[in-house]
Structure formats: structure tokens, C-alpha cells
Amino acid sequence: KSAPFTGLAEEAIRTSLSLAEQSTRLDLLSSSVKVSPQQMPELYTSMENASRILDMQVVPELYVQSSSQANAFTLALQGRDNKPPIVVVTSALLDRCTDDEIEAIIGHELGHLKCSHSLYLTLGGLVSTPLRGLPLVGSQAEQLLQRWRLAAEYSCDRAALLVAQDVNVVAGAMLKLFAGTARATNTQAFIDQSREYEKLLKDANPIIRASIRMQQRTHPLPVKRVMELEKWFNSDEYKSILLENE
């Protein structure tokens, strides 16, 4: 935030994202189903619960979009025109996951909103763009931005856990998304799989480990997410947050 012209860049990004949000809202109202106390009230309650737990200033609008892909997304920015932010879940996601898992997934998307990830990741990309053509510095800037993107997903997984307050619920949602089927239900086996991965990775050839680290991803590896989530679930930090909110 202290970089030159950051304020101007932030204002420009907020304006462009606000326009994108207007377009997205109109598209969703015309072609998807808006959740309300009268329309799919159980989903509306899930959104209210997750918003309350994460202390959201405004309860976002929730839409259900017809799709064969199990997915959820948000523009990850609080609206500027006094309109609530938007969260979208797909029909395939609803068909695949339990109500508790859906609420945890909503919590993950609210984490993106709470942290304004769209704003700051876009700002980080703009700041790093002039550096990309420079030897060494350019690759370091890109690696830093990549780590930031992945860290954002870990933060939102923690938001999901704060909503669910059960690591098996969040891991169960991840398991069904990564497996692509509702038949994958053994979360403990998936957690054990993440431990197996961690052990094998430590014993792997350094070249293999380096190649895995250098892979460009929009999200962390599935087993890595589960592994990190379990670590945080057992941490003093997580327990202290729960105690503060009792």
C-alpha cells in the first residue's frame, strides 16, 4: 500500500471490478436462481450462518448456476454501489455435497471477500508487471505473486474451517470436489493420503521436489490443502480463535 501510485491503482481496480460485478449480477439474475428465504431457504440460512461466523458486514447474495462442473466462486470484492457482494455455487456442487459441506464451501468464498483478494492480487500483478522482463528480479517477483495466490487459498480454507468447526466436513467437501464424485466419502483416508504424500515428498529426489515447487497453479495441491488444514485445526491459534468467540 505504501508504493507510489498505489492509491490510484486501487481506485482504478475497484472501479473496473465494480463494473464487472454489475455485469455479472445482471447475467446471474437473467440466467440463474437467486437464493432467498423463499427460494432454497436452507441455502439462505447457510449463507447467513457463515456470514455471521466470519463477521461479514453485509450478507452476500447467493446464486445457484446450472452447470455440470462442481464449483463455487465470487468476485472477491465488496461492492461499491451499496449492493451486496456476489457468491455463486453450481448445481453440480449442490448435488455432490452435504448441507454442512456446502456451508463450509460458502465460508471459503466469504474468506476471499473478507480479504478483498481480487483487489490485492490484481494490484500485486500490476506492481510486478514492469519487473517481469528483468533478469532474476522478474522471476522472483512472479514466484512471490504465485506464493501469494496459493496463500490466499490456504487463508480461505481456514475461513471454511471456522465456519464448519469440523475438519472432516471441510476435508469431505474437498474430497468430493477433487475426486469428481460423491462416492468418495472417507475423509480420514484422504487425510492419511496427504500424510503419505508429505512423507514421500520429503524422501524424493531434490530435482523432483524442485520441479513440483516450480509448477504454476491457481490453487495449492489438493493433498497439501488437506494437510495444512489439519495442522491448523490442531493448532493453538485455531483453538484460541474459537475460545474468543464463545
What are the tens digits of pLDDT across the range 129-167?
555 566 655 566 566 667 778 888 999 999 999 999 999
Say what percent of the chain tops pLDDT 90: 53
Q: What is the pLDDT of residue 214?
A: 72
- pLDDT of 38 > 80? The answer is yes
Measure CA 150 to chain center: 10
153 part of the active site = no
pLDDT band at residue 83 using 50, 70 and 90 as cut-offs? confident
Q: Which of 21, 61, 103, 109 is catalytic?
A: 109
> Across the chain, what does the average pLDDT equal?
84
Higher pLDDT, 66 or 127: 66
How many Cα atoms sit within 13 Å of 14 on the Cβ side?
11
User: What is the spatial distance between Cα 8 and Cα 163, in angstroms, rounded to a whole number?
Assistant: 35
* Neighbouring C-beta atoms of residue 102, cutoff 10 Å: 22
User: What is the spatial distance between Cα 18 and Cα 112, in angstroms, rounded to a whole number?
Assistant: 16
Coil, helix or strand for 226? helix
